[in-house]
Amino acid sequence: MKAKKLFGTDGIRGRFGEWPLTLEIISACGRAAAELLNGKPPCKVIIGRDPRASGTQIEKLLSDGLRAEGAEVYSAGIIPTPGLSYLTRDGGFSLGIMISASHNPAEDNGIKMFKGNGYKLSDREEARLEKNIYAFLSRPGRNRPTGRLRRVASKPYLDHLRQTVNGLSLKGEKIVIDCANGAVCDYAERLFGGLGAKVVVLNNRPDGANINRGCGSLHPEVMAEAVKKEQSSAGFSFDGDGDRVLMSDENGRIMDGDQIMGITARFFQKQGRLVKNTVIATSMSNLGLEKFLKKSGAVLVRTDVGDKYVLREMLRQKTNFGGEQSGHIIFLDHASTGDGMLTALQLMRVRQQTGISFSRQDQGFFRYPQLIKNVRIAKKVDLLSLKTVKARMDSVLKELGEDGRLVLRYSGTEPLARIMLEGPKKKTIIRMAEDIAEAIEEAIGINGQAGS
């Protein structure tokens, strides 16, 4: 029987104590990670976590497994994911392991890993690690952990963030920060307050169970309301592990990753810092971002959904800026992964150096109505090989022209075909989605011809 896949889009993630985050798998993951590093001395591993209650137990299981296989293990304690990535690279570690389920509820947790250069493991490396995990599960370890779990300071990460905006003063600025009761709680106020801003902090009392609950980037309206009430210059809403951020302008208007990328890219262009005048984003980024960038001569290149795919394309094309609509923004000149606090700092620098309020920074950005429709299917085949489906797709694309976008793909984890449509009018794209969905259902749907 083939083993089930442990790694998803962003590491191993699930409810603690249940597959794929059972105690046995976590322990085997530590041992397998150490074996992955064999032949790469010194075998030093750093572990970080967000404030979820299960984090300390997962850290111990990973640490025991790593040390049983001879690794030196260091703990950074509670730290944002990008902070763990930075310390891995800056501290000369062979591997960094972050314990977090990002924006998921507190009952969930996860494990994601960074190589010594601060980049996430590739799909091939994850596949190799997964094979090792299952091998260890089939032969329980006999070695006892050696050495001890050492502590490492996280101050170098904050110092690094300050250096990315060297000389920036936020005196006179008032900003709202929603920490999501997550990993940025001990960092964000020190960072922005230390640069002179008056900081209004929300949801920075983590208790192990309240991470992301009714707050943070999943609920940016909380931050936006506070911006209006406090008459602030801006607001920033982080997720549980601090690798993404959404923002609000001074009027309480919520702005997502597409608007953040548009504002920042134009600023970089004027400074001659946007390499190849190119922004790397995913298939989910709105057509409005593409047209906004085009007005200033910049190009949007799309890749698969997931910040690691954005990074991979950035490295392939040798560009320096990209991200996701969700708020994962990658400044490759400063970081090797998405970083919410770094993004917020860069945005405040844009405001300071231009003297233009955020409500005016994205003028001319038109967000096209976007619709996603799922169709449950009996089997997966090449959608373009289905004549009726292709005919309706061709008809939709012809009608949309340059004023819309169609993405048709399968879910990676469920028996679903996903239809993503953008166009100038909501009613029009609803009709188009229904037409394509009907063709898919007739061809390969559960109750359609192929499913009967």
Between CA 226 and CA 177 the distance in angstroms is 9
Cβ-based neighbours of 367, under 8 Å, separated by 6 or more: 258, 286, 288
Closest by Cα among 61, 42, 49 to 11: 49
Q: How far is CA 325 from the centre of its chain?
A: 10
Q: Are 67 and 59 in contact (CB under 8 A)?
A: no
Q: What residue type is assigned to position 47 of the chain?
A: I
Q: Are 108 and 15 in contact (CB under 8 A)?
A: yes
Q: Which residues of 427-447 are buried (b: 16+ CB within 10 A; e: fewer)?
A: ebbeebbeebbbbbbbbbbee
Q: How far is CA 14 from the centre of its chain?
A: 16
- Is 102 marked active-site? yes
Exactly one of 27, 102, 248, 326 is catalytic; which is it?
Answer: 102
15: how many CB neighbours lie within 10 A of its CB?
15
Using the structure block, give the residue that is written with the tokens 């104590």. 17
Please return the burial class of 452, using the count of CB atoms within 10 Å of its CB with bins 0-12, 13-18 and 19+.
exposed
Cα–Cα distances in Å, from 268 out to 60, 221, 234? 43, 28, 20
Between CA 403 and CA 353 the distance in angstroms is 34
Cα–Cα distances in Å, from 176 out to 180, 220, 347? 12, 11, 14
Rg for the chain, CA atoms, rounded: 23
Between CA 230 and CA 177 the distance in angstroms is 12
SS3 call for 98:
strand
Active site residues: 102
